[in-house]
Amino acid sequence: MCPPFVQGLNMLIAAGITDINVALSVWTAVTFAILIVVLGKFAWGPILQMMETREKTIADAIESAKKERAAAEAASAEMRAALEKARNESAELIRRNQQEVAAAKGELMAAAKKESDDLLAAARKTIQEEKRQAIAELRALTVDMAIEAANRLVQMNMDEKKQKQLVEEYISSLPKESRA
């Protein structure tokens, strides 16, 4: 007697391609149906559940990524707004500082001009006073010299009071431009 394997092989070789083994086909269909029922009961449910869980996890991850992206864009917009605000504030501070510097410069220039004008006015006043004193001294010296000269010329014909009066009349009759 041959082993069963060899017998099956012999039958396969002996059967033609068009021969259908009904018993084998029935048992194959029954086995396939049992396999479908077992897989449906024990494997299909967990596989579908696992796929739904995975699908939900992926959807949650996508939703979470969208929320994080929106939050990142909002934070980026806030950063840009804060940066723009800081730029505007710094530009305003620079403008104010430039105005303050210009105002301080103007005040210093005005104070320096006023001080310069005051010094110039004081110097002119001092010069005028010294000029007046010099003219008075020169006049007195001229009167004294004229009296002395006249005194020597006249040799005591007139008294000193008349001589002074005569010289002063002469000086006052001179044009003012020549006296200054």
Residue 25 covered by a domain: no
Residue 44's pLDDT is 82
Q: What is the separation, in whole angstroms, between the first and last Cα of the chain?
A: 169
Which residue type, as a one-letter code, is found at position 31? T
Measure the CA–CA gap between 13 and 164, rounded to whole angstroms.
177
Higher pLDDT, 62 or 10: 62
Number of domains the chain is built from: 1
Residue 150's pLDDT is 67
| Structural tokens at position 40 | 């449906």
Residue 126 covered by a domain: yes
Minimum mean pLDDT among 27-36, 43-52, 103-112: which range?
A: 43-52
Phi-psi label, residue 159: left if phi above 0, alpha if psi -120 to 50, beta otherwise = beta
Higher pLDDT, 1 or 81: 81
Residue 27 covered by a domain: no
Which residue type, as a one-letter code, is found at position 126? T
Residue 7 covered by a domain: no
Minimum mean pLDDT among 39-48, 109-118, 153-162: which range?
A: 153-162
pLDDT band at residue 169 under the 50/70/90 scheme: confident
Residue 17 covered by a domain: no
Residue 13 covered by a domain: no
Question: Mean pLDDT across the stretch 58-69?
Answer: 93
Residue 131 covered by a domain: yes
Higher pLDDT, 175 or 110: 110
Minimum mean pLDDT among 41-45, 100-104, 118-122: which range?
A: 41-45
Share of the chain above pLDDT 70, in %: 81
- Specify the pTM: 0.38
As a whole number, the mean pLDDT across the chain is 82
Question: Mean pLDDT across the stretch 123-141?
Answer: 87
Q: Considering Cα of 12, then 15, then 17, then 18, what sign does the dihedral take?
A: negative
Residues spanned by the domain of 102 = 43-179
Higher pLDDT, 162 or 15: 162
Closest CA to 165 of 151, 179, 147, 178: 147
Residue 76 covered by a domain: yes
